[in-house]
Structure formats: C-alpha cells, structure tokens
Amino acid sequence: MSIEFSKKLTAHETPIPGVVLYDLPVHGDNRGWFKENWQREKMVALGLPDFRPVQNNISFNEKAGTTRGIHAEPWDKFISIATGKIFGAWVDLREGPSFGAVFTAELDPSQAIFIPRGVGNAFQTLEDNTAYTYLVNDHWSADAQGQYTFLNLADETAGISWPVPLEEAELSDKDKAHPRIADVVPMPSKKILVVGADGQLGKALRELYDGDAAVEFAGRAGFDLASEASFAERNWKNYSTIINAAAYTAVDTAETAEGRAAAWAVNVAAVSRLARTAVEHDLTLVQVSSDYVFDGVRESHDEGEPFTPLGVYGQTKAAGDAVVSVVPRHYIVRTSWVIGEGNNFVRTMASLAGRGIEPAVVNDQIGRLSFTEDIAAGIQHLLESGAEYGTYNLSNDGEPQSWADIAADVYELSGRPRSAVTGVSTEEYFKGKAAAPRPLNSVLDLGKVKNSGFKPRPARDVLEAYLGQRTAAE
C-alpha cells in the first residue's frame, strides 16, 4: 500500500451537514510512517467540533470485501484507517431536510472523517488486513444499541456503488436484513430542556416553541431543581441544551432571613446543579441574568462590567452567573425590567388607569423594559445562530425611560392623561417601607447581541402590542 506523505492538515466539507473529511499529515521513511491521528488543538482550530471522545475502538478485517453498515449511532465518531484501505459510505439518517443525503470516499491512513450523531456509517475493505479505528464521545452499552438507526446496504434510493458487489462481499446476516429508507425511522434530534417552564419566561418559550417536538418543558412538578433525584433520573444523553427559566425574583422578600435562604437555593444552589450537569454531559446551558448584578452607578452596563450587586437578590444572581461562566458551552442572557404573562408593572399600571387611580411612580430609576417574548426570541437566536458562547445583554431597544415615564405611556395608551402619573424619587417612594436597594441606572448596552445578528424591538412598539392584546382578551 502506498501512502501520500506530508499532506497538510486540511478539512473538506461534504454534502452531509456536519460530515467533514480530513487530510492528515503522514511522515515516513525507510522504517515506516508516523501520523497524528487525533490532535485536539489543531483540529478544533480547523473547525472540528470539540466532541470530547471517551472511547477508542478498532475493527480489524482480514479480507478485502468485508462490508459493515449502514449504522447510525447515538454519538459522534472520528474515523480513520490504521492499515489498509476502505471505501466508506455515509447516509444522513437524522430528522430534517438532509435526511437521505449520501457521501462516499476512499480512505487510507492519510485521511480521517468526522461523523455526527445520527449519520449512517458503512465501509467496505479494499485490502486485506485493514484496521479501521474510531473515537466516540459516549460509552457503548446495550441500552445505547437500542437507539441505533439502520439502513440496508443495498438501498436503491441511496444508490451506493460498492466496489465489491454486495453479493460477492462478506456481510453479516443482520446487515442484510436492515430496512430500506422508506421504512427507516429517522433519528430524532437531541432535545432542549426548559426548566422553570411555568413562569413568565417559561410561558413565552412555550409559545415560541409550540409544536416543536425537540423542545421539552418542565415546571417544578416535572423537574424539581432542588432534588438530586430529578437530575439522576433523566437520561442527559438525549439532550443538547438546558434553558433555565427558573428564578427567585422577590427582590424585597430576599432581604428577610427566609427569603435570603430561598433566593440562594434557587438562584445559586440549583444553578450549580445545572452547571455541573452541563459540564458532565457536554450540554449548552442558558442562564437568565439581571441588571441587579450591578449597582446602577454607570450610565450603561456592558457585558464586561464587574459585579457590584446592592442587595441579596442581586448577589444571588451574580453568584449564579459566576457559576455558569465556567460551563464551556453557556449563554448568560442579562435582562432588565421583565414583562410577560402574569402580574407585572405594566398590567398593574393598566389596571390602575382603568380604575381612574392616579399613582405616584418612581422617576429616578432609568432602564428599558424586557418583554419575555423578545427574551425568548433572543435565546432562540443565540442557540440557532451558533453565536459565540458568553454573556449577552438582552432587553428591548429604544430610549431609556424611568418607571414613571413607562407608567405615563401605559396611561396614554389606555386613554388616560399622562399627567395622571406623578413622579417621585426612590427614597421618597420607599420611605418607611422595608425594601431592598435598587440600582438607579439599569440601562444595558445592546451592542453585543446586535452584532450577533439579533435586533431587539423598540420597547414602545412592544408595549403598544402588549396592551392591545390585553385589551382584546378582556
């Protein structure tokens, strides 16, 4: 067998999404040859997913014409040849528009190929004594074998031109009996799990992903973040992402002894369990943060600003962010002044307007509203666009306003005069009341999320639509 020496490490895209063929540098002389078969740093830099292999397998094949496949397995594989030569065939058996796509190539020791989960894999040896080796990122088990998807080697739709006709090749009886493509059940995508799915953001995510079987929702009854059993009972191999829509948000109650314990339990201890799970199973973790991690001294807060929380709630949110930041695949979505389905500031002001009440509203806290449907859309964008992992500010856009300004907008849109709202300072409003300290400036810099391709809608436009929907529902 002749091997082409001194190739440059190169990646070649194929017709199957995620399947990438690699040329490997092989160095040789009169004694034999050497190659770096798997080199994480170089290959990840070239675009190979950092798929964290945990097992190395070798298939030795004594005779040319030995044929195996087509097997789609519930893990990723990095395939190469140690000795000999193969004709490889790969068929996309995943749910989606590329189902049934085919790619074939001859591989010798100077090549390798990355095969994502759910892509059917098959090969036929072209030389005697061929050793076929592959790295996988999950451990084989009898249970995992039950999740395989198979396709018949002779499927007419795939139309694979095997160098050695199948009737002359060495095949197992099992491989001969696999179904044609019309009878193949595609391998489902890994799921997104939304925890805390009964809250304001959870409801918005339910509406956004309505009908999407790849997204699973769990309220407290379905997944108790305080219970280790909830984590142990779930098969995390079936998931790609966790969106944490759960949070303790009772800002003032968090200052009490009971509230402090509850805030730390939900916003830190539970988040730590999620982070540990994400690290152990290589999941993406989406954590929703808050403007309360800052003291509100700066006019605008960017993602790199150090934490300066004023109260217990802000302290717990900052601690949760710090925990999530060590997860390799994470998005921290920092919001402010959240408005969604349920009791909130806008609904309260609309109710007061409808009853002819003239309220006093704080006028020295400045920020922007964050409507939950826009937070949900931003999370979806980050996940689907492949945006760089990290922290993103995400509120609605437009000129920053005070709470009193927003209340006046609600009154105006409800047919009441803006003058019905009286502005007062934070100090005056909370005088004589037990209240947590609040940042006076909650304006979030939106440059980073905009550069990722997401354009937050102006808060005024969404407010008008929100109040219109509320009026229509009454």
The residue out of 129, 159, 183 marking a domain boundary is: 183
Quick: pLDDT tens for 401-455: 999 999 999 999 999 999 999 999 999 999 988 899 999 999 999 999 999 999 9
Catalytic residue (choose from 12, 22, 27, 71) = 71
Q: How confident is the model at residue 2 (pLDDT cuts 50, 70, 90)?
A: low
In a domain, 3, yes or no: no
In a domain, 366, yes or no: yes
pLDDT recorded at residue 286: 98
In a domain, 2, yes or no: no
Range of the domain at 60: 10-183
Distances (CA, A) of 57 to 70, 104, 136: 17, 22, 8
User: At residue 474, does pLDDT exceed 60?
Assistant: no
Q: Are residue 152 and residue 278 in the same domain, yes or no?
A: no
> In whole angstroms, what is the distance from residue 184 CA to residue 445 CA?
49
Distances (CA, A) of 284 to 194, 288, 329: 12, 13, 5
End-to-end CA gap in the chain: 79
Distance of CA 204 to the CA centre of its chain: 17
**CATH value at residue 71:** 2.60.120.10
User: At residue 169, does pLDDT exceed 60?
Assistant: yes
User: At residue 254, does pLDDT exceed 60?
Assistant: yes
Q: Are 467 and 350 in contact (CB under 8 A)?
A: yes
Q: Are residue 204 and residue 174 in the same domain, yes or no?
A: no
In a domain, 64, yes or no: yes
User: At residue 24, does pLDDT exceed 70?
Assistant: yes
Q: Are residue 305 and residue 400 in the same domain, yes or no?
A: yes
Tokens of 148: 């395989």
- Active site annotation includes 71: yes
Q: Are residue 285 and residue 433 in the same domain, yes or no?
A: yes
Within 8 A by CB and 6+ apart from 380, the residues are 208, 209
Q: Are residue 317 and residue 462 in the same domain, yes or no?
A: yes
For residue 89, give the 3-state DSSP assignment.
Answer: strand
Write phi, then psi, for 432 (nearest 5 degrees). 80, 5
Q: Are residue 357 and residue 460 in the same domain, yes or no?
A: yes
pLDDT recorded at residue 140: 81
Q: Are residue 158 and residue 205 in the same domain, yes or no?
A: no
Is the full-model pTM beyond 0.85?
Answer: yes
> In whole angstroms, what is the distance from residue 219 CA to residue 384 CA?
24
User: At residue 244, does pLDDT exceed 70?
Assistant: yes
In a domain, 4, yes or no: no
The residue out of 166, 183, 200 marking a domain boundary is: 183
User: At residue 473, does pLDDT exceed 60?
Assistant: no
Q: Are residue 95 and residue 164 in the same domain, yes or no?
A: yes
Quick: pLDDT tens for 115-163: 999 999 999 999 999 999 999 999 887 666 668 899 999 999 999 999 9
Quick: pLDDT tens for 322-343: 999 999 999 999 999 999 998 8
In a domain, 1, yes or no: no
User: At residue 182, does pLDDT exceed 90?
Assistant: yes
Q: Are residue 122 and residue 235 in the same domain, yes or no?
A: no
Quick: pLDDT tens for 217-239: 999 889 999 999 999 989 898 99
Q: Are residue 55 and residue 115 in the same domain, yes or no?
A: yes
Quick: pLDDT tens for 267-296: 999 999 999 999 999 999 999 999 999 999
Q: Are residue 161 and residue 209 in the same domain, yes or no?
A: no
The residue out of 183, 202, 228 marking a domain boundary is: 183
pLDDT recorded at residue 414: 94
Sign of the CA dihedral running 139, 140, 142, 144: positive
Tokens of 43: 């290959």
Quote the number of domains for the chain. 2
Q: How confident is the model at residue 317 (pLDDT cuts 50, 70, 90)?
A: very high
Q: Are residue 209 and residue 130 in the same domain, yes or no?
A: no
Quick: pLDDT tens for 63-109: 999 999 999 999 999 999 999 999 999 999 999 999 999 999 999 99
Region of 253 (left: φ > 0; alpha: ψ -120 to 50; beta: rest) is alpha
User: At residue 214, does pLDDT exceed 60?
Assistant: yes
H-type alpha helices, 300-402: 312-324, 345-354, 372-385
**CATH value at residue 274:** 3.40.50.720
In a domain, 456, yes or no: yes
Catalytic residue (choose from 132, 134, 331, 466) = 134
In a domain, 307, yes or no: yes
Average pLDDT of the chain to the nearest whole number: 94
